[in-house]
């Protein structure tokens, strides 16, 4: 059940435009490769690249969910080489940083010119040191959040705002 609205559609749109402008300034004269982590980051990625005012390329990766027994596995890798490129990895939410840390290591090993991390929701209070977020739209409270690409069991991704959510008790 949705229990409240954390960030409404207008605020999200404004923050995404601000991030796009900042990325455009930071990468002026370059063509960054913006890599989105499927599936939750897809909505944010689409809006973000439209807000970036310089040429950029888009690619996607998909990973298995983090499972301490099985680890992390790349299900869909980048289609283009990151070697020598200015790469921005875009994820929906960064909490513990385990999955994005794995992806950052994998991308770094491929020799990009630079590697930055962008997220819709930063949750630094749940993350040990070592994962530096370059661009964050919002610092999120420690709540379950749905909407704007984030889901609960495949539902609520299409909601235009970000809402707190209480899963039904089983």
Peptide bond into 101 cis (omega under 30): no
Please report, rounded to a whole number, the percentage of residues in the chain having pLDDT higher than 90. Answer: 79
CATH architecture of 2-165: 3-Layer(aba) Sandwich (3.40)
pLDDT tens digits, 112-160: 999 999 999 999 887 776 789 999 999 999 899 999 999 999 999 999 9
Mean of the per-residue pLDDT values of the chain: 93
168: its two tokens: 């039904």
Helix, strand and coil content of the chain, in percent to the nearest 5, comes to: 25, 35, 40
Of the listed ranges 42-51, 91-100, 116-125, 159-168, the least confidently predicted one is 91-100
Q: How far apart are CA 58 and CA 39, in angstroms?
A: 14
Judge whether 6 and 38 are in contact, CB under 8 Å: no
Q: Where are the beta strands (DSSP E) in the chain?
A: 2-7, 33-38, 57-63, 74-76, 86-94, 114-122, 135-139, 145-146, 162-165
Bridge partner list, 93: 121
Q: What is the model's pTM?
A: 0.94
Q: How far apart are CA 58 and CA 45, in angstroms?
A: 9
pLDDT tens digits, 54-71: 999 999 999 886 556 667
The residue-averaged pLDDT of 24-29 equals 98
């Amino acid at each position: 059940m949705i229990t409240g609205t954390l960030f409404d559609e207008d605020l999200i749109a404004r923050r995404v435009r601000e991030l796009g402008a900042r990325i455009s300034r930071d990468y002026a004269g370059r063509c960054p490769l913006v890599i989105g982590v499927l599936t939750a980051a897809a909505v944010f990625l689409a809006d973000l690249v439209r807000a970036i005012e310089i040429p950029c390329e888009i690619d996607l990766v998909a990973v298995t969910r983090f499972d301490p027994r099985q680890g992390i596995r790349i299900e869909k890798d980048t289609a283009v080489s990151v070697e020598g490129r200015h790469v921005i990895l875009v994820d929906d939410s960064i909490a513990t940083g385990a999955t994005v840390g794995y992806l950052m290591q994998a991308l770094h090993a491929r020799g990009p010119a630079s590697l930055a991390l962008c997220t819709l929701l930063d949750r630094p209070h749940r993350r040990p040191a070592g994962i530096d977020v370059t661009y964050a739209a919002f610092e999120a409270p420690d709540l379950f959040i749905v909407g704007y690409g984030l889901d609960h069991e495949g539902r609520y991704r299409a909601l235009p705002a970000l809402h707190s959510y209480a899963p039904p008790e089983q």
